[in-house]
């Protein structure tokens, strides 16, 4: 007669024997924990900013498909060609945004100079071999075109944030002998970037970059009289740059006349696009013609899926849809402000402020151009307009801000933190 020995009990304090066959339930729980760690955050602004950004991207994909379908069929024999390219770039930009959201602030400080120098080097290539018609701020590599000036915007977010926070004390004190030494990194780098973009005839991007520089000085605590002197010098430079270029001066003159009087040839050249944009907005009325029913996109409105996509939104979704877009950017602005107020690191506060000036300022400029409040500048609507380099860089900028918003500085060392 054989007896069965009971299984040996583990010694007190010994580790339990590993389960040779993990259950599917444990694997599922591990996957859930992994996803929760990716999206873990301690501030409500993190989720509000992330959710609003993702909604704008998805909304933009729908509107790019609607506004570009006719042009895509004419040029590529495919209704979905341009929308597909935008979707691919969104699929690249969103993961990059989530990866950037997990980087610490020291990472951005360490790579600020590298990103800025790389963007400037690409912009030098643009001046040398750029393409794109009047606005030749484009580089083409293997059939893929992109705008290095968009990477200058991204570089400005972290580079200006780092430099201004370090040098603000010296900048404010004109009497110190070290003042020139501290200003030197800002003047040649930022001024050189503005000059390179202007040489590429991209007036809209130059305006956005100038706003970012002035915003960095203002939110960084530079005295208003110093900002006033810099603004005056920049305004004089802009006036000279406009007047020495017949195309720029004619565009401004056509806008000042309201596209209603003056040289008919001039009006026809510079007013065709805004006039058809206004017509599209008027056709939309209160509730719009319905998604996909735009008449302006039938080769009447140039750049319907890029610079003037807001006109198509107003035509298809009406005043309600247009106001919804404005409200979403207002939500983004509130998120940026709340994140700035929550931060204790001056670099994080300033970098977030610069990103806010870029994204919200560019949205306001684009909408103002479509409404006729500004001359045509060729500035895309962030997250919504078709344009790969613009979409990817703005998503990365949001990722940088999310990396600051992910942790609450008041709880970062508290036990039991969701990020510990």
183 vs 11, more confident: 183
Report the DSSP beta bridge partners of residue 141.
Answer: 144
Whole-angstrom distance, CA of residue 228 vs CA of residue 215: 12
Report pLDDT for 271.
Answer: 83
Q: State the residue range of the domain holding 213.
A: 48-405
Tell me, yes or no, whether 26 lies in a domain: no
Question: What distances in angstroms separate CA 250 from CA 51, 174, 263, 307, 364, one per listed residue?
Answer: 42, 40, 10, 20, 23
Number of domains in the chain: 1
Ranges of beta strands (E only) in 71-157 are: 139-141, 144-146
Instruction: Tell me the average pLDDT across 120-128.
Output: 87
pLDDT at 258: 73
Report the distance separating Cα 134 and Cα 247, nearest Å.
Answer: 9
Lowest mean pLDDT among 61-70, 119-128, 163-172, 186-195: 163-172
Paired residues of 146 in beta bridges: 139
Residue 331, pLDDT score? 97
Residue 8 falls within a domain, yes or no? no
What is the per-residue pLDDT for 170? 61
Do residues 333 and 356 make contact, with C-beta atoms less than 8 angstroms apart?
A: yes
The first and second tokens of residue 84, run together, are 């597909």
**pLDDT, tens only, 228-264:** 988 998 889 888 888 887 777 878 877 887 776 666 6
In a domain, residue 27? The reply is no
- In Å, how far are 141, 171, 281, 305 from 371, measured between CA atoms? 35, 39, 9, 16
pLDDT band at 416 (very low <50, low <70, confident <90, very high): very low
Residue 160, domain member (yes or no): yes
User: CB of 390 within 8 A of CB of 147?
Assistant: yes
Tell me whether residue 132 is in a domain. Answer: yes
pLDDT the model gives residue 420: 46
**Does pLDDT of 174 surpass 80?**
no
Q: What is the pLDDT of residues 264-302, one digit of tens each?
A: 666 667 788 888 999 999 999 999 999 999 999 898 888
Q: Report yes or no on 176 lying in a domain.
A: yes
Owner of token pair 């968009």: 150
Average pLDDT, the chain: 84
Residue 325 has which token pair? 């877009």
In a domain, 69, yes or no: yes
State pLDDT tens for residues 137-169: 777 776 677 888 899 999 999 999 999 888 776
Asked if the structure places residue 35 within a domain, the reply is no
Cα 129 to Cα 119, 181, 189, 205, 364, distances in angstroms: 15, 34, 21, 19, 31
When mean pLDDT is compared across 162-176, 363-377, 392-406, the lowest value belongs to 162-176
132: tokens are: 């794109």
In this predicted structure, which of 85-99, 266-280, 314-328 has the lowest mean pLDDT? 266-280
In the structure, what pLDDT confidence band is assigned to residue 112 with cuts at 50, 70 and 90? very high
Residue 1 pLDDT > 80: no
| pLDDT single digits (tens) 40-67 | 766 889 999 999 999 999 999 999 999 9
């Amino acid at each position: 007669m054989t007896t069965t020995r009971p299984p040996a009990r583990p010694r007190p304090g010994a580790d339990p024997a590993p389960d040779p066959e993990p259950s599917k339930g444990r694997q599922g729980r591990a996957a859930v924990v992994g996803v929760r760690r990716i999206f873990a955050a301690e501030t409500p602004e993190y989720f509000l900013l992330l959710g609003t950004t993702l909604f704008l991207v998805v909304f933009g994909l729908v509107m790019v498909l609607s506004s570009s379908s006719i042009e895509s069929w004419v040029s590529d024999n495919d209704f979905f060609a341009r929308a597909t390219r935008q979707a691919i770039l969104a699929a690249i930009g969103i993961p990059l945004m989530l990866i950037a959201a997990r980087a610490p602030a020291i990472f951005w400080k360490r790579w600020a100079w590298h990103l800025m120098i790389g963007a400037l080097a690409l912009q030098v290539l643009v001046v040398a071999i750029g393409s794109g018609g009047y606005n030749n701020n484009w580089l083409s590599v293997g059939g893929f075109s992109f705008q290095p000036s968009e990477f200058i915007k991204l570089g400005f977010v972290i580079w200006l944030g780092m430099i201004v926070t370090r040098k603000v004390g010296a900048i404010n004190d004109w009497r110190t002998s070290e003042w020139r030494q501290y200003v030197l990194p800002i003047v040649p780098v930022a001024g050189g970037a503005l000059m390179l973009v202007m040489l590429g005839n991209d007036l809209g991007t130059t305006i956005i970059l100038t706003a970012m520089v002035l915003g960095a000085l203002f939110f960084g605590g530079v005295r208003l009289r110093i900002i006033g002197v810099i603004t005056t010098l920049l305004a004089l430079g802009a006036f000279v740059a406009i007047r020495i270029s017949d195309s720029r001066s004619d565009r401004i003159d056509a806008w000042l006349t309201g596209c209603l009087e003056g040289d008919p040839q001039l009006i026809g050249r510079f007013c065709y696009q805004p006039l058809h944009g206004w017509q599209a907005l008027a056709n939309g009325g209160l509730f719009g013609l319905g998604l996909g029913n735009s008449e302006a996109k039938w080769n009447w409105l140039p750049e319907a899926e890029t610079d003037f996509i807001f006109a198509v939104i107003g035509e298809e979704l009406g005043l309600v849809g247009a106001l919804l877009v404005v409200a979403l950017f207002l939500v983004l602005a509130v998120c940026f402000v709340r994140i700035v107020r929550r931060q204790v690191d001056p670099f994080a506060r300033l970098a977030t402020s610069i990103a806010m000036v870029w994204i919200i300022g560019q949205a306001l400029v684009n909408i103002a151009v479509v409404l006729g409040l500004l001359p045509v500048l060729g500035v895309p609507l962030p997250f919504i307009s078709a344009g790969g380099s613009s979409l990817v860089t703005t998503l990365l900028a949001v990722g940088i801000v999310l990396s600051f918003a992910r942790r609450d500085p008041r709880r970062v060392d508290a036990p039991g933190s969701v990020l510990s």
